[in-house]
Amino acid sequence: MKTLRTRTRIAVLLTLSLALLAGCIVVPPSSPPETPPATRPATPSEHLDPTWRFPAAAGVPNDPLPSFVDVVSEVRPAVVSVMTEMVAYDLFSQAYIQEAAGSGIIIDSNGYIITNHHVVQGAKDIQVELFDGTTYSATIVGIDPLTDLAVIRAEATGLPFATLGESADLAVGEWVVAIGNALGEGISASEGIVSRLNVSVTVGGNTLRGLIQTTAAINPGNSGGPLSNMAGEVIGINSVKVATIGVEGMGYAISADSARPVVQSLINQGYVVRPWLGVSLYTVDRFTARVNQLSVDEGVLIVEVSARSPAWEAGLERGDVIVEFEGTPVRTTNDLLQGIVDSSIGDEVEIVYVRGEDRITTAATLRESPAPWD
């Protein structure tokens, strides 16, 4: 009996041993793969130089990053938050008060403030708040939609003010600081560099030209605030930014050199004098052409002609479509407006327009634009 048990145990152990061996794969040792011989040039290159090292950097000291404290301390007292109230209407034509916030920069101790046209457009009440919390009522001095600039005046004197610099002296890569009422949460500062100069951006059908592109963060509420150089001079008025998925660091400021004559005119006479044709316009597209039964689907439709204006004297009428101005094709209202602005008061300009099926050429002598309240 004992012998049987012993044999049984031996048989079980033998079976387990065979099972374990069956579950293993024994790979015989193999010799290491042969290493291919190193590829060498047939003959040494004549350009080999055992003494070569990476060239040393030019002997220019590494300047530390600039300190923005002095710049912000100098400019910030002249920056204001601009709070506006305007009447808006809901879907049921019920009026309600809509509030908005922007920024501005004081340029005179008597309270003249530069801001954007779109910040104060349609405002019924304007309040400006200084960095120290002091609040003043303000009124519109003049607006210029074409450049998105406006001047307002606070009811105060002896205010701190900033100096407009020369934006023509800017260089790409130069440090700048944007200061303003970002997101309506009070005056804050953000730093960046000048990315591009003399940039054009189309906003709401109007093309702003001569802009400064910057990486300094320009958020809602920054509009109308200053873009300053490291000398504490205002070299731009923050205006717009590209806000879309995948795009960062593309803000734009109206250059100080472009703003200076506009601001001067707004303060002196309340509007900007430019060459004037005297027409109200609408860009023609296929839908407009079909609805108005036009024979062309590109150009600008004359919606209104001012009495005794250069356009009226040149024989232009409501319903005509202007297709050329001074030999240049006109496809949008902006094309025609820019052609007029680039001309001078007193210039005789050639205009090609379509009336019905006829293509007609005429000439108009541009005059000084009248005051907007006339």
Q: Are strands 299-305 and 279-284 parallel, antiparallel or unpaired?
A: antiparallel
Closest CA to 230 of 189, 175, 183, 192: 175
Active site residue 223: yes
* Token digits of residue 266: 């707004």
Alpha helix stretches (DSSP H) within the chain: 2-22, 69-75, 117-120, 256-269, 286-291, 310-313, 333-341
Quickly count: other Cβ atoms within 10 Å of residue 297's Cβ: 13
CA angle (206, 210, 214) in 5-degree steps: 100
Q: Give me the residues paired with residue 302 across strands.
A: 281
Rounded CA gap, 345 and 324, in Å? 19
Report the sign of the C-alpha dihedral through residues 220, 221, 227, 230, in that order: negative
Catalytic residue selected from 148, 167, 255, 335: 148
Catalytic residue selected from 223, 255, 258, 309: 223
Closest CA to 270 of 156, 149, 127, 104: 149
Active site residue 63: no
Rounded CA gap, 220 and 208, in Å? 18
Catalytic residue selected from 118, 188, 195, 255: 118
Taking the CA of residue 119 as centre, how many other CA atoms within 13 Å lie in the half-sphere pointing to its CB?
38
**Catalytic residue list:** 118, 148, 223
